[in-house]
Chains A and B, each alone.
Chain A
Amino acid sequence: MMKQLIATIALLMSLQAFAVIETYEFKTEEQEQLYTDIINELRCPKCQNQTIAESNAGLSEDLRYIVYQQVSNGSTKREILAYMQERYGDFVLYDPPVKPSNYFLWFAPLAVFLVILIAVLLKVGRRRIKPEQTGTEEE
């Protein structure tokens, strides 16, 4: 039973590894993993809402090739993301930096949540108090 389970898991993992080597060959597995990480984190500027890994636009192909070249030359993830950001702006990063122009993006959901939370708390608080108050008024 255990053996079968291990065999199944091993098989699944090997398939995943095969899927990654679709086009480019890397010297090490770390580089291959880095390449996959990066292309899944970059947004295609042409075909919005797709990563450059998913998109088959010409531009994504070019960008994937650049990522491949830079990974092969030993660039770090940070260097490659900086290279892309320098050219295409924060838009290409699916994980945009926290900075003033992006504060709205980062903190608006939190602000909305807080407003709703406060509103709900006030409402609930009032409901608890209200019967007593009306009670005293009637007296």
Chain B
Amino acid sequence: MNKKLVLAVAPIVTFIILVIFFWFALEKDPKKLNSNLIDKPVPDFKLSALKNPERVYTSESLPNELFLLNVWGTWCGPCHIEHPYLMKFSQQYPVPIVGVNYKDQTKDALEFLEKKGNPYSMVIADVDGQLGIDLGVYGAPETFVVDSDGKVRFRYVGVIDDRVWNSKILPVIEQVQGYPLEQVQKDAAENDSEGMK
């Protein structure tokens, strides 16, 4: 009698365990790797500014407040998709975005920013890609949330659109800062909500 019960329950238990496993597997994108830099400082670098090759940037040049570090290149298709969102976020929120122009032609990058606008407070020209390697970049665009102590707190691989911004980036920023982020341009936000209707 007992044995029958075990035999009846075993497949159901096994099934439930598998469902739990697959459920978590569904949630988790295997292409998204955890960054090894979390809670570590941004790696040291010494690279020139995209706009002025004579100006040298190091980790000292990075903002002393919370900022986003966005790795991009004109060769990277998804970066073109992400760009308008970055423009919008840079106008709406008081969070500086530092660009790392990764393995790009400086001329193309400058042209791109000239034509489509520049969401970045500064752009580091990582021409040979060493900073990208040190950041563990494997698929541009990648965005790092860096706190006011210069430590990496979060990394997102892929395009940041409204959904990702609201569900992933904004909560992390607010959690790291400890208070909600106020929008700079209330008007733009209102326009957006009107657009929703």
Enumerate chain A interface residues (CB-CB to B < 8 A): 45-46, 48, 58-59, 62-63, 66, 85-89, 91
Overall SS of chain A's interface: helix
Docked pose: A87 CA to B138 CA in angstroms: 10
- Cβ 8 A contact of A89, one of B30, B31, B34, B134: B34
CB proximity to A under 8 Å, residues B132-150: 133-136, 138-139
Complex Cα distance, B33 from A48, in Å, reads 10
Q: How far is the CB of B74 from chain A (nearest CB, A)?
A: 14
Whether the pair B36, A45 counts as a contact (CB closer than 8 A) is no
The reply to whether the CB of B78 lies closer than 8 angstroms to some CB of chain A is no
- Is B136 in contact with A46, judged by CB distance below 8 angstroms? no
Across the two chains, which residue of chain A brings its CB closest to B129? A62
Nearest CB on A from B45, distance (A): 13
Q: Note all chain B residues with C-beta closer than 8 A to A88.
A: 33, 36, 136, 138
Shortest Cβ distance from B3 into A: residue: A126
A-contact bits for B68-93, CB 8 A (1 contact / 0 none): 00000000000000000000000000
- What are the residues of chain A within 8 A of B35 when measuring CB–CB? 89
- Assess whether B138 is in contact with A46, with CB atoms less than 8 Å apart: yes
Q: Which 9 A-B pairs have the closest CB atoms?
A: A45-B138, A87-B136, A89-B36, A46-B138, A88-B136, A91-B33, A59-B138, A62-B129, A46-B139
Contact B136–A48 (Cβ < 8 Å): no
A45 to B33, CA, bound (A): 8
Closest chain B residue to A89, Cβ basis: B36
Provide 29 A-B residue pairs closer than 8 Å at the C-beta atoms, listed in order of the A residue: A45-B33, A45-B136, A45-B138, A46-B139, A48-B30, A48-B31, A58-B103, A59-B138, A62-B129, A62-B133, A63-B133, A66-B133, A85-B36, A86-B36, A87-B36, A87-B133, A87-B134, A87-B135, A87-B136, A88-B33, A88-B36, A88-B136, A88-B138, A89-B33, A89-B34, A89-B35, A89-B36, A89-B136, A91-B33
